[in-house]
Amino acid sequence: MQDKNALSRAFLYGLAMDPASGLIFLVAYALSMFATALWSMAYRGFAKPYFFRRDPEAVHDRMTNIGSFLGSHIVTRKAAEACFHYRHPALEQNILGIRFANPIGLAAGFDKDARLTDIMAAIGFGFEEIGSVTGEPCEGNPKPRLWRLPKSRGILVHYGLKNEGCEVIAHRLRNRRLRFPVGTSIAKTNSPATVDIPSGIRDYAKAFRAFSAIGDYFTVNISCPNAYGGELFSDPARLDALLAELDAIPTQKPVFLKLPADIGENGLREIVSVSRRHRLHGFIASNLTKRRDLPGLYRDEIAGHDKGGISGVVLRDISNNLVSRLYVLAGGEFVIVGCGGVFSAEDAYEKIRRGASLVQLVTGLIYNGPQHIGEINRGLARLLQRDGFASVREAVGIDVRNASIARSA
């Protein structure tokens, strides 16, 4: 309601000062709302049922080609902005020297080869994370390696870090104008050649060097559940060695660490302790879960699929709890990015109130369509105003802080 009242006051003031501009504003706003509603009906009623009857990887590849084409032309970018983009000053933040127009970002794993940055900026994301990018080109695991879980509202992923490799992807981005903050998720190449620790570290370092002056931040992905050797660098001693090697590579960019979803309390404390000794600025919580016993996960959808990680609604509580635990352990020292199970503005807001300064999603986009990002940002602005927050920053960690005050009272 406050959002609507503020909008009404702004419109009436603008109409009094400049009637023509005020009317243009009103028409543009009405068209934007109409376009969002129309796209929502079209995607959920027609496009998604059509896509979900077809092979998920083939659909993803085709939509990547279409998105790359649409993002390469100013007319289609502007059309996408007019239909989908939502802006509000309460959503803006400056974090680690990077300006974010809103806190909702595209997580790594969707735009593996950095072909969609232009169109993702146009549809309203506040930032994007490409990759994961590896030192060498990687074909990934054998097909099929991607399955939808419609009853569980999730995705089962066993891609195995498929990407074109750091040299090709860095070349693609080197001279491109980035329209919003772009992070690079790096991982070790999914190959028997990188299973030993020294080889794995060299592979990470190669990708890190390739992007040292490209993009806005790094994410070190130590938690892919679908690669040779498993999560080698989730071990604190191995992580210490990896981060020491990356510390020696010059870069001005912030560095984040992507955590496993299923990490225990002792493991989390050890990783935070190791991170304090290195050039690390934040954590992403979290990657996919490997658990098959989660509430809301339909067993018939995962029968026969022992490999792979799961995203979507079943990851929400795991991610939220990890965000809260991180905020308690290191909220004043590290920036936290919440990732997992974001399907609505309320989902994003819960992560923020638990301690996340930024929020990432992929599965919510697949299930709800391109207009969904604007819907989340519009809803998030309303929630902030409802609760009396002038900005996202004021809401970060409020639930954890309030719980701490209540316990100490």
Cα 102–107–113 angle (5° rounding)?
Answer: 120
Helix (H/G/I), strand (E/B), else coil: 124: coil
pLDDT at position 217 is 99
pLDDT at position 17 is 54
pLDDT at position 36 is 78
pLDDT at position 168 is 99
Instruction: Supply the DSSP string of 189-211, one letter for each residue.
Output: -SSGGG-SHHHHHHHHHHHHHHT
Q: At what angle do helices 372-386 and 19-42 cross, to 10 degrees?
A: 120
Low-confidence ranges of the chain (pLDDT < 50): 1-4, 6-8, 10-11, 13, 15, 21-26
pLDDT tens by residue, 194-220: 999 999 999 999 999 999 999 999 999
pLDDT at position 31 is 56
Which residues touch 231 (CB under 8 Å, ≥6 apart)?
222, 223, 224, 225, 260
pLDDT at position 407 is 78
pLDDT at position 25 is 44
- What are the boundaries of each domain within the chain? 1-53, 68-408
CATH 1.10.3720.10 fits 68-408, yes or no: no
Pairing, β 282-285 against β 335-339: parallel
pLDDT tens by residue, 59-98: 999 999 999 999 999 999 999 999 999 999 999 999 999 9
pLDDT tens by residue, 217-231: 999 999 998 888 889
pLDDT at position 1 is 45
pLDDT at position 145 is 98
